Amino acid sequence: MSETTLAEALGWTPPPGWPAMSRDQIRDQLTAPGERFEMEIVTIRGVPTRVWKHAPENLRALMMLARTHGEREFVVYEDERVTYAAFHRAVAKLAHELRERGVKKGDRVALAMRNLPEWPVVFFAAVTIGAICVPLNAWWTGGELAYGLADSGTAVLICDAERWERIAPHTGEIPSLRHVLVSRAGTGELAGPAQHLEAVIGAPGTWGGLPDAEIPDEQIAADDDATIFYTSGTTGHPKGALGTHRNLVTNIFSGAYNATVSVLRRGEVPPDPVPKTALTVIPLFHVTACSATLMGTLAAGNTLVFMHRWDPLKAFQIIERERVNVTGGVPTIAWQLIEHPERENYDLSSLEAIAYGGAPSAPELVRKIRDVFGALPGNGWGMTETMATVTGHSSEDYLNRPTSCGPPVAVADLKIMSEDGTTELPVGEVGELWARGPMVVKGYWNKPEATAETFVDGWVRTGDLARLDEEGFCYIVDRAKDMILRGGENIYSSEVENVLYDHPAVTDAALVGIPHPTLGEEPAAVVHLAPGMDASEAELQAFVAERIAKFKVPVRVLFSEETLPRNANGKILKKDLKALFDQ
């Protein structure tokens, strides 16, 4: 079924006169000299690259801009409300504390906590003094967190009490760690080197009373190191993607550019910016939330609402109370809001957009967002190695091409390459997606071989199979071979398979993704047991759960009497295994 036919089947046909302008016309208009989205060419790591000319120079400049929003509310979390002014005071206080503890430019400051008002405070206290912030996956086990801390050479860890409980037994594995500050850990003594974060900056409700100090001085260039976000590799340990200040601030203009394009496509005049309220339910340790959401929020003076944990009924209450304009994150969030039986009991009329990425989404979801909420759907494509936004897709364009993730923003390029990486393929052909632009990270932390393999002359080899159409819209047709996307969380099969192989009864194992109506897919395993050995599904699930994060545990385990099918090169034929779960 063609995109046009599919759109019609979903109940949408383009209104008369749409689109009012082609994307090329819009690009020429928006990026013309003197315009807001003007571009310039700069050399980044030896490669001439288009960049947003008027983007903030670095994250320090972004923090100065955020300060001008004054008494506007920045973060709402349960009964805690933090203004931009109070946020800046807390950032400045913690930044001075980090300096006093010996943190210098380039030192690593790790951040491990759920979405709390303290999260952006720690992040900006680190990056505005030139340190490298290392946001760690809060779902990781203690051992996984310890690996990230040791691999990054973290000097200072700032975490919440739950994460510290996991990490504390592993401090002997982290020789670089000098200081630990823990939030929300009560008032008692803390184990090991840890101290209470509140002893430094107080609780969020008191930040407005901190001194109105300046952040310590530091000279920071646009392409200086800013972050290490860990992304699981298909083999071995997770890899730390080393991001720059430019990577992060690029998202501010990329997001605004995409929004402006949608307005011009329907022939309207872009309105003056008005601060919005967003219910942010994806974790800030993902580049989607940190880079694509948080950076633009600070520039625009928007309000972020955090939840302790995702619950659709609680989300309805928050949307109604706070008059939330934007939410989403991954498709499962949208599906749960649509299908919840209590939805009609709440006033959700403030919702203007529900956007997501990070997991496959059904075209039907595009129509339902429009019909159920009267909101505009949106999605996009990016990855940890691109610090989020490369493409954007929303509004009528999304309804018109419901299986696309959109075209690249004006400063980005996409191309489709042959499997061996030597030949660019023509429009419409499927191959590996390569991406280029100022959002692409420097490489992998302390992994030169992996960096050289993935980053080529400014391009990042994504490992995704995709095609481009005549207008540059991108269609992801498959993903990195061994990756499973469960509700936005990356699960790499080799990691789970290696744990299964550790079980004494298992001699052959493979992890595959099986469809799930809201999560996109879930992990499932097929195993072959050693002769005379025995193990149950529950036993293997418990074995895995003891060793890695719970979201990676197979939801089903099937047992094969024979060793698993392989091709001539000895690789397991996972497509054959997926069919077993349909029986």
Q: DSSP characters for 310-345?
A: --HHHHHHHHHHHT--EEEESHHHHHHHHH-TTGGG
Beta bridge partners of 445: none
- Residue 287, pLDDT above cutoff 90: yes
Distance CA 126, CA 216 (A): 11
pLDDT tens, residue by residue, 218-243: 999 999 999 999 986 445 688 999 99
Which range, of 194-208, 309-323, 336-350, averages the lowest pLDDT?
A: 336-350
Beta bridge partners of 520: 486, 516
Distance CA 458, CA 49 (A): 8
pLDDT band, residue 569 (cuts 50/70/90): very low
For the chain, the C-alpha Rg in angstroms (whole number) is: 24
For residue 287, give the nearest of 383, 406, 159, 354 by alpha carbon: 383
The secondary element (H helix, E strand) that includes residue 231 is strand 225-231
Give the mean pLDDT of 73-100: 98
Q: Tell me what the pLDDT averaged over the chain comes to.
A: 92
Q: Which CATH number fits domain 59-202: 1.10.540.10, 3.40.50.980, 3.10.580.10, 3.90.1170.50?
A: 3.40.50.980
- Residue 258, pLDDT above cutoff 80: yes
Q: Residue ranges of the domains in the chain?
A: 3-54+242-478, 59-202, 483-582
Q: Which CATH number applies to 3-54+242-478?
A: 3.40.50.12780
pLDDT tens, residue by residue, 518-557: 888 999 999 989 778 899 999 999 999 999 999 999 999 9
30 or 377, which is more confident:
30
Distance CA 173, CA 191 (A): 16
- Residue 479, pLDDT above cutoff 70: no
pLDDT tens, residue by residue, 341-356: 899 999 999 999 999 8
> What is the per-residue burial (b if ≥16 Cβ within 10 Å, else e) of 329-345?
bbbbbbbbbbebeebee
pLDDT band, residue 568 (cuts 50/70/90): very low
Cis peptide before 19 (omega within 30 of 0): yes
Q: DSSP characters for 26-88?
A: HHHHHTSTTSTT-EEEEEETTEEEEEETTS-SSHHHHHHHHHTTTTSEEEEETTEEEEHHHHH
Which range, of 158-172, 315-329, 561-575, averages the lowest pLDDT?
A: 561-575
Q: Tell me the pTM.
A: 0.87
Same fold, 3-54+242-478 and 59-202: yes
Q: What percent of the chain has pLDDT over 90?
A: 74
CA atoms within 13 A on the CB side of 515: 7
Can you read off the two tokens belonging to residue 255?
């997001």
Distance CA 557, CA 539 (A): 10
Give, in order, the Cα–Cα distances in Å from 215 to each of 64, 92, 129, 212, 224.
9, 5, 8, 10, 18
Distance CA 456, CA 462 (A): 11
**Residue found by looking up tokens 């409700």 in the block:** 205
CB 333 within 8 A of CB 309: no
Question: According to the model, what pLDDT value does residue 29 have?
Answer: 97
Question: According to the model, what pLDDT value does residue 275 have?
Answer: 95
pLDDT band, residue 9 (cuts 50/70/90): low
Amino acid (1-letter code) at residue 511 = L
403 or 246, which is more confident:
246
Give the mean pLDDT of 71-75: 98
Question: According to the model, what pLDDT value does residue 478 have?
Answer: 61
Give the mean pLDDT of 350-379: 83
Q: Which CATH number applies to 483-582?
A: 3.30.300.30
Can you read off the two tokens belonging to residue 287?
């580049």
For residue 541, give the nearest of 566, 559, 562 by alpha carbon: 559
Which range, of 122-136, 346-360, 429-443, averages the lowest pLDDT?
A: 346-360
pLDDT band, residue 311 (cuts 50/70/90): very high
| Contacts of residue 491, Cβ cutoff 8 Å, sequence gap at least 6 | 232, 483, 484, 485, 511, 513, 523, 551, 552
Give the mean pLDDT of 183-208: 95
Phi, psi dihedral angles at 80 (to 5 degrees): -100, 135
Give the mean pLDDT of 18-24: 96
